[in-house]
Structure 1
Amino acid sequence: MANTYTQIYIQIVFAVKGRKCFIKEEFREEVQKYMAGIIGNKKQKLFAVYCMPDHVHMLVSIKPDVSLSTLVKDIKVNTTIYLKQQGFVNGGFSWQEGFGAFSYSKSQTPQVVSYILNQKEHHKRKTFREEYIEFLEKFGVEYSDKYLFEFYE
């Protein structure tokens, strides 16, 4: 796209269906590297990714010719295949429908990267549900409890 210049930073959040703790610590880094590869192959830039056992946070810089929904779908579909092929999960694994996406300015990216990479510590103090609803409210996103992720706390 000639003469098109953008700076789009998005934090993406999505969860394992049923909020089951499928992403184990022993293969978490491999899954994160695989996700990074998907994003790189789509010519997008990954700043940070952290897989909790039941959900994922990532910060990406996307180009305007890429649909955010398509990017997330590609990450979910290909990661599901990878997880099953590697024997990391059983046939019952899948991601929940939907995702959260929150935009940031370039000056905010260091704080967002730090936040994402410190998920393990962060969730010692706050549940995923509390965190996710806080994001929705902070960003002024209207939502219905009916369509939020399945939360089992």
Structure 2
Amino acid sequence: MPHQNSQLWFHIIWTTKNREPVFTREMLVHKLAPLLILISKENEIDLLFMNGYKEHLHCLVRLRSTQSIARVVQKLKGVSGRRINEQCWFPFEFNWQVGYSAFSVSPDRVPTVINYIKKQWDKHQKMDFSSELNYLEQNSHHHQPTT
């Protein structure tokens, strides 16, 4: 079969080193999102949606049949971290924390996950990151996050 179709969706989350709260809402929208979109295009990564909060980032990615989740995350984190430092976003050396969390997403749940990722700033007025991650880990079998 010459044509390959992949519906392998993943909700990927990673944090800044030591969970330092370095990002503002404006920085995520106007700097980090465009940077990740560019990195995705350069590396043929299907990044459908991203958003985050002060110390962490959520991405919804569709893996191509030739990609591994580890390699996609390595590219997104590695290249973005390097470019953030090259462009001197901060008066210190920026780093992402080692590791990430990834949750598979059924194609019919993609709109729900996008909505969940969209509401990060509102949600984190009521829930800290550790609580969010615990919730997602406990409910990853169907990934029906609350809004």
**Same fold (TM > 0.5):** yes
Alignment-derived partner of residue 84 in structure 2: 83
Give the stretch that moved more between structures: 84-93 or 30-39: 84-93
> Structure 1: any 5+ residue segments left out of the alignment?
141-153
CA distance in 2, matches of 1:3, 1:50: 31
CA distance in 2, matches of 1:92, 1:43: 28
Please report the RMSD computed on the Cα atoms of aligned residues, expressed in angstroms: 1.6
CA distance in 2, matches of 1:67, 1:89: 31
Give the stretch that moved more between structures: 29-38 or 55-64: 29-38
* Structure 1 residue runs of 4 or more that deviate by more than 4 Å after TM superposition: none
CA distance in 1, matches of 2:52, 2:83: 15
Alignment-derived partner of residue 122 in structure 1: 123
Please list the CA deviations of residues 69-104 of structure 1 after superposition, one character each: whole Å capped at 9, or x if unmatched.
111111111111121122212443211111011111
Alignment-derived partner of residue 6 in structure 2: 6
One-letter code of the match for 1:131? Answer: E
Alignment-derived partner of residue 106 in structure 1: 107
TM-score (norm 1): 0.84
Alignment-derived partner of residue 23 in structure 2: 23
CA distance in 1, matches of 2:39, 2:122: 27
Please list the CA deviations of residues 125-146 of structure 1 after superposition, one character each: whole Å capped at 9, or x if unmatched.
1110000011111126xxxxxx
One-letter code of the match for 2:126? Answer: R
Change (3 A) 1:134 1:89: same
The alignment covers a number of residue pairs equal to 140
> Structure 2: any 5+ residue segments left out of the alignment?
142-147
Matches within 5 A, 1:135-150: 135-139=136-140
- How far the C-alpha of 1:42 sits from its partner, in A, is 2.1
CA distance in 1, matches of 2:140, 2:105: 10
Report if the CA contact (8 A) 1:11-1:101 is conserved.
yes
Report if the CA contact (8 A) 1:59-1:113 is conserved.
yes
CA distance in 2, matches of 1:90, 1:18: 17
Alignment-derived partner of residue 67 in structure 2: 66
- How far the C-alpha of 1:27 sits from its partner, in A, is 2.3
Report if the CA contact (8 A) 1:84-1:90 is conserved.
no
CA distance in 2, matches of 1:90, 1:75: 22
- How far the C-alpha of 1:53 sits from its partner, in A, is 1.4
TM-score (norm 2): 0.87
Question: Counterpart of 2:54 in 1: which secondary structure?
Answer: coil
One-letter code of the match for 2:15? Answer: A
CA distance in 1, matches of 2:130, 2:49: 21
Report if the CA contact (8 A) 2:52-2:121 is conserved.
no
CA distance in 1, matches of 2:43, 2:2: 18
Percent same amino acid at aligned positions? 23
